[in-house]
Amino acid sequence: MTATTTTPDDVAAWRDEARAAAAPTRRWGSFYVAEYRIRSMRAYGWTIVVGSVGQPLLYLLGLGVGLAAFIKAPIAAGPSGSVGYTQFVAPALLASAAVGVAMEEFTYVIMEGFRWRKTFWAINATSVTPRQTCNGIVLAVAARMLVTGAAYYGIAVAFSAIGRPVAALAMPLVGILGGLAFGLPVMAFAARMKDDRGQFSIIQRFVFTPLFLFSGTFYPLSSLPWGLQWIGWVSPVWHASELGRALSFGTGAGGWPWWTHLLVLLAMIAGGGALAWRSFVRRLAS
C-alpha cells in the first residue's frame, strides 16, 4: 500500500476549484436568497393573493361606493379640476397596503431566520455575505409589494379611482418606496432582537396604526390640528400617498412639490438600508 502525499500544489489547486465553484454564489448571492424567500412565500401564497385582491376590493367598495356617497364636496383639487373622495383615498390605500406587507415580512420572518429556524445562519455558512442575505430578503419583499400594488392599481382603475391611469402606472413602484422606507428600519430592529417579547405588537399598535390613521390617508393632513400634522411629515405613508396622488390626479393635497416626497422616501430608504446592513453584518459575524 502506497501512501498518498498531498503537495502544496494540490492544496492550491483545490483552493482554486473551490473559489471557482463559489464564484457564481458570491456574484448572485442576493438573487439566490430572494429566490429562496419567494419560494417560501408559496406556503402562504393564497393568503397573499386573497389579501392583494380582497383588501382593495373591500376598501374601495366601502369607501368608494359607501362613504363617498355621503361626501358630495370635492376633497382636493388637481390641474383638471376637483378630486372626488375615491380618487383621493385610492393612492393612500395602495401605499398603506405596501407598508402593511413590510410590517409582515420584516418582523417575524427576520426573527424566523435568526432565532427560530436559523435559516440565515445556514446561508451564512456558504459564500453568501450577510449584506447579500439582507439584500435578497429586501428584493423578495419588494416583489410581494409589487404584486400587491399592481392589484390595488388594477382594482382602483376599475373603480375609476385613478385620474390619470397611464401616469399612475408608477404607483405600485411608489408603494414599494413607501414600504421600504417604513420596513427597512423595522428590519434592522428585528435583526438585533434575541427574543420576541411583544416588540412587534408594540410597533403594530403604536407606530404602524397611528401612521395609517394620521398620515392623510382618509382626509387631507391639513385638516388635523397643528400638533398632529408632524406625524404625517415623518410618515412614509404620507409621502408615498402624496406622491401617488401627484401621479394620479396631478398634485398632492399637502402642498409639497412631488419631488420633495420622493427625496424624503429615498433618504429614509438609504438610512434604513444602512441600518439593516449593519444589523445583519453584526449579527451574522458574531
Q: How many CB atoms lie within 10 A of CB 171?
A: 27
pLDDT of residue 6: 62
Cα–Cα distance, 66 to 252 (Å, whole number): 24
Tell me the β-bridge partners of 83: 76
Query: pLDDT digits over 164-186, tens only?
Result: 999 899 999 999 999 999 999 99
Assess if residue 22 is contained within a domain. Answer: no
pLDDT of residue 159: 85
**Given phi > 0 = left and psi -120 to 50 = alpha, else beta, which region is 13?**
alpha
Enumerate the H helices of the chain as residue ranges: 8-41, 45-60, 85-105, 108-111, 119-124, 130-158, 171-192, 199-203, 209-213, 226-233, 236-249, 258-285
Q: Which residue has the cell 405613508?
A: 237
Q: Which range among 152-156, 176-180, 241-245, 250-254 shows the weakest confidence by mean pLDDT?
A: 250-254
98 touches 240 (CB < 8 A): yes
181 touches 236 (CB < 8 A): yes
Q: Is the pLDDT of residue 11 over 50?
A: no
Number of domains in the chain: 1
47 touches 145 (CB < 8 A): no
* Residue 82: domain span: 28-285
Assess if residue 69 is contained within a domain. Answer: yes
Top mean pLDDT of 5-19, 49-63, 69-83, 134-148 is at 134-148
| Percent with pLDDT over 90 in the chain | 55
DSSP sequence for 14-41: HHHHHHHHHHHHHHHHHHHHHHHHHHHH
Task: Answer with the residue of higher pLDDT: 18 or 259.
Answer: 259
Which whole number is the average pLDDT over 17-35? 72
Cα–Cα distance, 209 to 203 (Å, whole number): 8
Q: Is the pLDDT of residue 24 over 60?
A: no
Q: How many CA atoms lie less than 13 Å away from 217 in the CB half-sphere?
A: 20
Assess if residue 146 is contained within a domain. Answer: yes
Q: Which range among 1-5, 37-41, 130-134, 202-206 shows the weakest confidence by mean pLDDT?
A: 1-5
Which whole number is the average pLDDT over 211-239? 88
Assess if residue 10 is contained within a domain. Answer: no
**271 falls in which pLDDT band (50, 70, 90)?**
very high
Which whole number is the average pLDDT over 249-269? 88
Assess if residue 5 is contained within a domain. Answer: no
pLDDT of residue 1: 46
Average pLDDT, the chain: 86
Assess if residue 20 is contained within a domain. Answer: no
**Given phi > 0 = left and psi -120 to 50 = alpha, else beta, which region is 118?**
left
Query: pLDDT digits over 38-90, tens only?
Result: 999 998 888 888 887 888 788 777 776 666 566 666 666 665 667 788 888 89
DSSP sequence for 77-122: EETTEEE-HHHHHHHHHHHHHHHHHHHHHTTHHHHIIIIIS-HHHH
78 touches 247 (CB < 8 A): no
Assess if residue 19 is contained within a domain. Answer: no
Which whole number is the average pLDDT over 211-240? 89
**131 falls in which pLDDT band (50, 70, 90)?**
very high
Q: Which range among 16-25, 123-132, 177-186, 209-218 shows the weakest confidence by mean pLDDT?
A: 16-25
Assess if residue 216 is contained within a domain. Answer: yes
pLDDT of residue 68: 59
Cα–Cα distance, 135 to 115 (Å, whole number): 19
